[in-house]
């Protein structure tokens, strides 16, 4: 597995990370044994970055990672880096009621995460969404104190815009910004990516397959379980879905021409955008993982990139990347 460095101050990680969210929440039923086997297969393939959030399944995802790390070969376990998001407030029924970035809350979230993960530190710790009631300097300052105390190694950010990135970076070194970036979500290119590059902050890109929409495996016939994020996503609804799937078919023609899959093409495209970008693979099964990890071996030359651009031009997606209420929490979209 190739490696990449996250920002000037962050850790060196595998060129692709594993995002574990879908193993606990948001994409329908999960299979614990297959989830653990997928994490083990990723570690075995050289993936070192495991991304989670304390609110993914309300602790479920961290406990899953705990079990996977405990049962992994020691050499693999020692190489693993944990990237954890915090701050989301939840209800018993699973609803999201806001975000809490107060310093005392940050330290409380971290204490619980360390216990659930069964590790003595978290490698990258980040607020999932900006808490509008708390200046980012205070939240980042609290994470920096956790770094000083040895409980956290690096400060990360998630879904914040250029102005907030600058404010955060004025308080402590920031390793990476985690943000959605894919062929059909290129919003970061205008302001956010240049600011990260100026400040030496890496990117962990999520949603590189737009939650499966541009994986080549999604179709209108796909039945979604109640609560599946995609059932509420504007990009997966009505005519938007038809238009977006037409883009996927155009991309499939390019992929077929290269003898690779649509998912590999979409992931390789994100990899091609810069050495400072580490895409997160959201695989929930070993089969999907193997497909996505092969993207590191794909080389896209100028002709390939031009053909991909023709198939899926910038701004060609139909629909916002989140439902309206969730878009309101994205500092990155303001």
Ligand X SMILES: NC(=O)c1ccc[n+]([C@@H]2O[C@H](COP(=O)([O-])OP(=O)(O)OC[C@H]3O[C@@H](n4cnc5c(N)ncnc54)[C@H](OP(=O)(O)O)[C@@H]3O)[C@@H](O)[C@H]2O)c1
* Residue 208 is a binding residue for ligand X (CB under 6 A): yes
Options 206, 236, 269, 322; binder of ligand X; rule CB under 6 A: 206
| Per-residue burial over 25-49, b = 16 or more CB atoms within 10 Å of its CB, e = otherwise | bbbbebeeeebbebbbbbbebbbbb
From 163, 93, 79, 87, select the one nearest 123 (Cα to Cα).
Answer: 79
State which residue, 148 or 260, has the beta carbon closest to ligand X.
260
State which residue, 20 or 169, has the beta carbon closest to ligand X.
20
* Residue 100 is a binding residue for ligand X (CB under 6 A): no
Q: What is the DSSP letter of 16?
A: S
What is the C-alpha to C-alpha distance for residues 40 and 84, in angstroms, rounded to an integer? 19
Shortest separation between residue 215's beta carbon and ligand X, angstroms: 3
What are the residue numbers of the active site? 56
Options 212, 268, 307, 319; binder of ligand X; rule CB under 6 A: 212
Options 282, 317, 322, 332; binder of ligand X; rule CB under 6 A: 282
State which residue, 171 or 263, has the beta carbon closest to ligand X.
263
Site string for ligand X, 152-181 (x = CB under 6 A): ------xx------------------x---
Options 54, 291, 304, 331; binder of ligand X; rule CB under 6 A: 291
Cα 274 from chain centre: 16
Shortest separation between residue 114's beta carbon and ligand X, angstroms: 18
Tell me the Cα Rg of the chain.
19
* Residue 20 is a binding residue for ligand X (CB under 6 A): yes
* Residue 51 is a binding residue for ligand X (CB under 6 A): yes
Q: Which helix (H) or strand (E) holds 8?
A: none
Applying CB under 6 A, the span of 6-14, 40-48, 144-152, 275-283 interacting with ligand X comes to 275-283
Neighbours of 249 (CB within 10 A): 11
Alpha helices in the chain (DSSP H): 32-44, 60-70, 74-79, 103-117, 136-148, 162-169, 192-199, 238-258, 262-271, 286-293, 302-311, 324-327
State which residue, 74 or 263, has the beta carbon closest to ligand X.
263
Shortest separation between residue 35's beta carbon and ligand X, angstroms: 11
DSSP helix/strand/coil, 154: strand
Instruction: Name 53's bridge partners.
Output: 85
Q: Are 255 and 265 in contact (CB under 8 A)?
A: yes
How many residues are present in the chain?
334
Q: Is the dihedral of CA 35, 36, 41, 46 positive or negative?
A: positive
* Residue 210 is a binding residue for ligand X (CB under 6 A): yes
Shortest separation between residue 219's beta carbon and ligand X, angstroms: 11
State which residue, 7 or 282, has the beta carbon closest to ligand X.
282
Q: Count interface residues toward ligand X (CB under 6 A).
A: 29
| Interface positions with ligand X (CB under 6 A) | 19-22, 27, 51, 85, 128, 158-159, 178, 206-212, 215, 217, 263, 280-284, 288, 291-292
């Amino acid at each position: 597995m190739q490696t990449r460095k996250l920002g000037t101050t962050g850790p060196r990680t595998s060129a692709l990370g594993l995002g574990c969210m879908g193993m606990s929440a948001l994409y329908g039923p999960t299979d614990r044994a297959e989830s653990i086997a997928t994490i083990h297969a990723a570690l075995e393939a050289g993936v070192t970055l495991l991304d989670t959030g304390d609110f993914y399944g309300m602790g479920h995802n961290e406990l899953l990672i705990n079990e996977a790390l405990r049962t992994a070969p020691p050499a693999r376990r020692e190489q693993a880096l944990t990237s954890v998001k915090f701050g989301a407030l939840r209800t018993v029924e699973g609803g999201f009621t806001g975000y809490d970035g107060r310093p005392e809350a940050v330290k409380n979230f971290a204490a619980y995460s360390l216990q659930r993960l069964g590790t003595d530190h978290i490698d990258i710790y980040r607020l999932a969404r900006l808490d509008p009631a708390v200046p980012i300097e205070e939240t980042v300052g609290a994470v920096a104190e956790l770094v000083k105390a040895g409980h956290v190694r690096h400060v990360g950010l998630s879904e914040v815009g250029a102005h907030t990135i600058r404010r955060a970076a004025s308080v402590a070194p920031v390793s990476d910004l985690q943000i959605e970036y894919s062929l059909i979500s290129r919003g970061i290119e205008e302001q956010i990516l240049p600011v990260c590059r100026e400040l030496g902050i890496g990117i962990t890109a999520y949603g590189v397959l737009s939650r499966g929409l541009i994986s080549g495996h999604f179709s209108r016939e796909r039945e979604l379980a109640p609560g599946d994020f995609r059932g509420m996503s504007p990009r997966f609804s009505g005519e938007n879905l038809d238009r977006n799937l037409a883009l996927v078919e155009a991309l499939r023609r390019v992929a077929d021409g290269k003898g690779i899959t649509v998912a590999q093409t979409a992931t390789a495209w994100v990899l091609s955008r810069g050495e400072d970008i580490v895409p997160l693979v959201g695989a929930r099964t070993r089969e999907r993982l193997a497909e996505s990890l092969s993207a590191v071996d794909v080389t896209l030359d100028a002709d390939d990139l031009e053909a991909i651009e023709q198939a899926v031009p910038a701004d060609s997606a139909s629909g916002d990347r989140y439902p309206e209420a969730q878009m309101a929490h994205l500092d990155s979209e303001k």
